[in-house]
């Protein structure tokens, strides 16, 4: 895999991140790993919040080969397990008194019908509910850190999503693509609603959404099995490479002119490839009634209540 070219990096202003701490979920591969490489290279302390400690350590070594003096560590987190989310949050808060960036990146795409330990459909539980809970638990640290932000990785798939509140667990029927689209719309609704609530309650932390375009990452799997070699070859040839897809994450995480509520993605045809630019989300992501209902349901399902009055 090639590193981001100098011309690619130059298209995203290179802020000095020395002294800042960033948590990146799912940072052991794909978009998360590529974003971690860039942020570590700019001086940020990277917490790789990953399900597999072994894979995380391998990814950490890869970053250190590029940036030998960077501060990178691996902490175990399974966002599809609320007990793991709570343990990670408690462990992090016991060690750190500030948090500049929370990047909600981890995700699963179109697995066979699976439920999490908490009884949630895997994509809704891992892609959305786990990150909702993580943000709520870490918000006090974020709010106590000037200039902090929460970045949530969405997808073009949110354009085709709809929240089926009567069948969130898939027990009344499951189609993998439909539920993936639903989970990515949930990411978008959460990111946008979170920023509204942060502002309404006088918080300085901001929430920004982004997407990598159509990127050739290891999310292209069939359940736990790798995609066939021909599909990987197609992806690597025609789709946005992970190191380019990660630029939208870096942009959303670092650009100083962002004020919250933005949606960042590639600037090419159909927003599938290219350099990061400001985009407009699908109108479904701006449905306030759906966002408020999703928020209420998410608090009930996770047991995590954000300290907001409005």
* Choice among 180, 203, 251, 263 that is catalytic: 180
Catalytic, 180? Answer yes
Residue of 27, 16, 204, 25 lying closest to 98 (CA atoms): 204
Q: From residue 117, how far is each of 79, 82, 84, 120, 121 by CA, in Å? A: 11, 8, 10, 8, 10
Instruction: Give the number of other CB atoms < 10 A from CB of residue 174.
Output: 15
The answer to whether 262 and 278 are in contact (CB under 8 A) is yes
The answer to whether 213 and 251 are in contact (CB under 8 A) is no
The answer to whether 136 and 306 are in contact (CB under 8 A) is yes
Query: Which active-site residues does the annotation give?
Result: 180
């Amino acid at each position: 895999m090639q590193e981001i070219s100098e011309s690619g990096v130059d298209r995203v202003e290179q802020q000095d991140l020395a002294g800042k701490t960033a948590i990146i979920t799912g940072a052991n591969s794909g978009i998360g790993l590529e974003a971690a490489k860039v942020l570590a290279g700019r001086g940020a302390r990277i917490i790789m919040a990953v399900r597999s400690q072994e894979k995380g350590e391998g990814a950490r070594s890869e970053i250190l080969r590029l940036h030998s003096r960077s501060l990178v560590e691996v902490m175990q987190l399974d966002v599809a397990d609320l007990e793991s989310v709570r343990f990670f949050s408690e462990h992090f808060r016991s060690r750190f008194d500030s948090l500049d960036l929370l990047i909600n990146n981890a995700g699963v795409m179109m697995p066979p019908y699976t439920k999490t330990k908490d009884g949630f459909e895997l994509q809704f539980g891992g892609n959305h509910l786990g990150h909702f809970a993580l943000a709520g638990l870490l918000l006090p640290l974020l709010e106590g850190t000037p200039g902090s932000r929460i970045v949530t990785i969405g997808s073009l798939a949110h354009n085709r999503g709809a929240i089926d509140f009567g069948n969130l667990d898939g027990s009344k029927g499951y189609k993998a693509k439909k539920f993936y689209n639903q989970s990515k719309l949930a990411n978008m609704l959460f990111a946008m609603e979170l920023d509204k609530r942060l502002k309404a309650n006088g918080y300085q932390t901001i929430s920004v959404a982004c997407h990598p375009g159509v990127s050739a990452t290891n999310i292209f799997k069939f359940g736990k099995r790798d995609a066939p070699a021909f599909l990987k070859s197609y992806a690597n040839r025609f789709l946005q490479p992970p190191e380019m897809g990660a630029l939208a994450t870096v942009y959303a995480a670092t650009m100083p002119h962002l004020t919250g509520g933005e949606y960042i993605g590639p600037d090419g045809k159909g927003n599938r490839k290219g350099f990061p630019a400001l985009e407009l989300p699908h109108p479904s992501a701006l449905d306030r009634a759906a966002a408020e209902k999703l928020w209420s349901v998410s608090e009930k399902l996770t047991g995590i209540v954000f300290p907001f009055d409005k």
